[in-house]
Amino acid sequence: MSSEVDAQLDEMRKNGWESYVFGPRDDPNAVGLAYRWKTCADVLVLHAEDDATAYRMPLGQDADLFAPRIVSWHYHAPAEWTIRALLSLPRPGAPDAPLAMLTPPPDCAVPAQLRRTMTIRPNPRRAHVST
């Protein structure tokens, strides 16, 4: 990843984002980050520097961060632009926060076969709620 993307990811982790590594740690198939609000989560999935997806999804009892059934916002572009778009989203409950309930496109999920080996790094700065 570029130094700009690495700096963005480091800043996200410092600000309470949970980290997920799909596949071997030294050669992951994808990397995910999630920030849990009270009623929703913002999620980032990085497949490559030029292939990243972000979305906001409602949280519920059976919510799966990496296989959402519904989203209120989604974005797919190179990693740097996707991270910028995600971090510029208004906080949930803000007047201009996304509220629509949309069926997510296929790129808003990490395929089950990629999730068989997963490393979760909860952020110690935030209380962790299991997925």
C-alpha 28/C-alpha 63 separation (Å) is 23
pLDDT 10s digits, 22-41: 988 888 889 999 999 999 99
Provide mean pLDDT across the span 44-73.
94
Question: Is 98 a residue whose pLDDT tops 90?
Answer: yes
**Local confidence band at 120 (pLDDT 50, 70, 90 cut-offs):** confident
pLDDT of residue 131: 42
Strands (E), the chain: 18-22, 30-36, 40-48, 51-58, 73-77, 118-121
**Local confidence band at 124 (pLDDT 50, 70, 90 cut-offs):** low
Provide mean pLDDT across the span 79-107.
94
C-alpha 32/C-alpha 22 separation (Å) is 8
* Strand-strand pairing, 30-36 and 18-22: antiparallel
C-alpha 108/C-alpha 52 separation (Å) is 10
